């Protein structure tokens, strides 16, 4: 099986995205994750361009990587300097990486207008830079910046750039589709010519300004590229780089090419989420292969079909990339969705039970009121168990009161909640303060119940989202609240809907507690 080497530039090109900034520690942690994923090259940054990258390479020297080669990135020598006296090249070698990637201009317009030098001098810069680095004993990857646009404008000169790097001893030539505007058929035509003209190994580097970065990278592989450069989740300047999270399974599962092991590819979803987390970005639910919605099924017809054969609506088995199949519950659902969910929750129910139709009607009526269970499956499980007579009642609600008080203009408001419940005939009244009314309510209800149910000590509220359902009604609009709660074993979502945001929040909080108590009670039942 042909081996395609994965070259990751998340730490350099990816960090140039306007909404991404990694600390040195972030970069070290991501580098280790990339190594575990099985990438062949990790481009750590441009030493000398900023203090952060200098510090990263210093720390990376003391790190052990199993599969990846740490790579320093920089430019060819300055037009006015000799290679041996150029500070950029000196700093590249001081990074002490096994591999160095240098880029050079291959579009004549960039040479004369951006570099403000001659075409011949640019060729000498490339030749002398590559030769200097090879003499230092490192592997050299030459990135031909703007190659495809340069080729379309002046094909002879663009090819001279590649040949200059090749004759100087470059180990890899990487034509770059830097502006991201080429179509796959253009990449195919040009890359085929490059493959025929060059004898060293070729790579591909593409950008996503026309939403073709992944397609262009795959096309280049079909034409002979043996190295693919890209970033995790497609981070990068402007519209981003080629997304390795899509490229890796495309190479392995669709094209039958070796790039990472089966076990490593099962980490794909984890790596994608990990990098998003360190970049402080929400994970894209609809991201191909690894998104939360990538293998989610909502319509009843779809659910019925995948129960018979997964391949009816799934192009791969989600476990290959570390993802999961999900059956969503909504007013589009049919009986098959309800039954599938019942099996998922280990609820024993007969397909002919009339209560299934009752649950379906209740579901549709609830969603008509504004409830949504796609992100609140714990609330749906409670709804189902209640309809089937399996939901246990652990306490009776009597009432709550929330006070928000601001004493002075320059002080933060104070929120206090009082909750009254009855457990086994015993009335409990508790009060708690929080940094907001919902936090105060959450503390008060748990404070009231923990003495009866100590397992609630480990319950945490992780996420809280509010959505206005009809903004035409202004402050009288219905509010939907989605919460995510969890303990050390799992997490679950709940929902509440009301014109009053406190009441909607209360509904979601109560469902979260009810779910925890029901789950704990069921876990204690004898097998």
Domains of the chain: 5-260 (3.20.20.70), 351-393+459-527 (3.30.160.340), 395-452 (3.30.160)
Which stretch of DSSP H or E encloses residue 361? helix 354-369
- Tell me the mean pLDDT in the region 226-249: 98
- Tell me the mean pLDDT in the region 182-204: 98
pLDDT at 383: 84
- Tell me the mean pLDDT in the region 339-351: 69
User: Can you list the alpha helix ranges (DSSP code H) found in 208-297?
Assistant: 213-222, 244-249, 262-265, 268-278
- Tell me the mean pLDDT in the region 287-306: 81
Residue 322: how many other CB atoms lie within 10 Å: 17
Least confident piece of the model among 100-114, 194-208, 254-268, 326-340: 326-340
Beta bridge partners of residue 423, listed in sequence order: 426
pLDDT at 476: 65
Q: Which residues contact 428 (CB under 8 A, 6 or more apart)?
A: 420, 421, 422, 448, 449, 451, 452
Torsion of CA 285, 287, 290, 291, to 10 degrees: 10
In contact, 304 and 336? CB cutoff 8 Å: yes
pLDDT higher than threshold 90 for residue 276: no
Q: Give the β-pairing of 296-297 and 326-327.
A: parallel
pLDDT at 527: 47
Helix %, strand %, coil % of the chain (to 5): 45, 20, 35
Residue 411: how many other CB atoms lie within 10 Å: 9
Least confident piece of the model among 300-304, 309-313, 489-493: 300-304
pLDDT at 333: 58
pLDDT higher than threshold 70 for residue 119: yes
Q: Supply the DSSP string of 62-97, one letter for each residue.
A: T---SSPEEEEEEEPPPTTS-GGG-HHHHHHHHT--
The whole-chain average pLDDT of the chain stands at 90
CA dist., res. 404 & res. 467, Å (int): 21
CA dist., res. 358 & res. 338, Å (int): 11
Distances, alpha carbon 458 to alpha carbons 105, 446, 449, 486, 512, in Å: 58, 11, 13, 8, 13
Environment class of 110 (CB within 10 Å of its CB; exposed 0-12, middle 13-18, buried 19+): middle
Q: What is the DSSP letter of 192?
A: H
- Reading phi first (left if > 0) and then psi (alpha if -120 to 50, else beta), residue 487 is in beta
CA dist., res. 85 & res. 405, Å (int): 68
Q: Which residues contact 207 (CB under 8 A, 6 or more apart)?
A: 177, 178, 179, 180, 213, 236, 237, 238, 239, 240, 241, 242
- Tell me the mean pLDDT in the region 134-161: 98
Percent over 70 (pLDDT), the chain: 92
In contact, 335 and 357? CB cutoff 8 Å: yes
Beta bridge partners of residue 400, listed in sequence order: 419
- Tell me the mean pLDDT in the region 409-436: 92
pLDDT at 369: 81
CA dist., res. 513 & res. 259, Å (int): 46
pLDDT at 511: 94
- Tell me the mean pLDDT in the region 203-220: 98
Least confident piece of the model among 16-25, 29-38, 235-244: 16-25
Q: What is the DSSP letter of 260?
A: S
- Tell me the mean pLDDT in the region 416-440: 93
Least confident piece of the model among 111-120, 163-172, 301-310: 301-310
Three-state SS for 468-515 is ECCHHHHHHCCEEEEEEEECCCCEEEEEEEECCHHHHHHHHHHHHHHH
Residue 183: pLDDT band (50, 70, 90) is very high
Least confident piece of the model among 181-190, 369-378, 444-453: 369-378
Least confident piece of the model among 239-248, 271-280, 374-383: 374-383
């Amino acid at each position: 099986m042909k081996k395609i080497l994965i070259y990751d530039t998340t730490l350099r090109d990816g960090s140039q995205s306007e909404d991404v900034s990694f600390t040195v520690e972030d970069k070290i942690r991501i580098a280790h994750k990339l190594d575990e994923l099985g990438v062949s090259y990790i481009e750590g940054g441009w030493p000398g361009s900023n203090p952060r990258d200098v510090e990263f390479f210093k720390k990376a020297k003391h790190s052990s990587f199993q599969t990846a080669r740490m790579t320093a990135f920089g430019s060819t020598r300055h037009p006015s300097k000799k290679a041996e006296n150029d500070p950029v090249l000196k700093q590249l070698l001081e990074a002490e990486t096994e591999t160095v990637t240098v880029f050079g201009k291959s579009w004549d317009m960039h040479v004369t207008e951006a570099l403000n030098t001659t075409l011949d001098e640019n060729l000498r810069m490339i030749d002398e830079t590559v030769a200097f680095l090879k003499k230092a004993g490192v592997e050299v990857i030459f990135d031909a910046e703007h190659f495809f646009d340069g080729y379309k404008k002046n094909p002879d000169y663009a090819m001279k750039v590649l040949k200059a790097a090749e004759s100087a001893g470059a180990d890899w030539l990487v034509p770059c589709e830097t502006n991201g505007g080429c179509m796959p058929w253009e990449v195919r035509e040009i890359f085929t010519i490059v493959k025929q003209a060059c004898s060293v190994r070729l790579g591909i580097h593409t950008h996503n300004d026309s939403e073709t970065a992944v397609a262009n990278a795959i096309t280049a592989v079909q034409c002979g590229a043996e190295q693919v450069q890209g970033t995790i989740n497609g981070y990068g300047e402007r519209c981003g780089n080629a997304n390795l999270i899509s490229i890796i399974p495309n190479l392995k599962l669709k094209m039958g090419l070796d790039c990472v092991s089966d076990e490593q590819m099962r980490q794909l979803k984890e790596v994608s989420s990990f990098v998003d987390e360190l970049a402080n970005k929400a994970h894209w639910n609809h991201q191909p292969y690894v998104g939360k919605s990538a293998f989610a099924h909502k319509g009843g017809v779809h659910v019925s079909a995948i129960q018979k054969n997964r391949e009816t609506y799934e192009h791969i088995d989600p476990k290959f990339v570390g993802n999961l199949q999900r059956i969503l519950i909504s007013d589009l659902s049919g009986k098959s969705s309800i039954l599938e969910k019942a099996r998922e929750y280990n609820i024993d129910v007969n397909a002919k039970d009339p209560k299934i139709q009752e649950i379906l009607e209740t579901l549709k009526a609830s969603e008509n009121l504004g409830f949504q269970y796609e992100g609140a499956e714990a609330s749906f499980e409670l709804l189902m168990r209640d309809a089937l007579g399996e939901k246990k009642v652990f306490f009776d609600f009597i009432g709550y009161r929330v006070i928000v008080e601001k004493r002075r203009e320059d002080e933060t408001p104070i929120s206090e909640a009082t909750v009254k419940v009855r457990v086994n005939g015993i009335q409990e009244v508790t009060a708690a303060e929080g940094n907001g009314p919902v936090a105060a309510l959450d503390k008060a209800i748990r404070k009231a119940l923990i003495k009866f149910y100590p397992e609630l000590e480990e319950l945490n509220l992780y996420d809280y989202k509010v959505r206005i359902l009809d903004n035409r009604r202004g402050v009288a609009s219905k509010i939907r609240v989605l919460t995510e709660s969890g303990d050390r074993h799992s997490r679950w979502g709940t929902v509440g809907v009301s014109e009053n945001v406190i009441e909607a929040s209360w509904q979601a909080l109560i469902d979260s507690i009810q779910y925890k108590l029901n789950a704990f009670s069921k876990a204690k039942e004898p097998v």
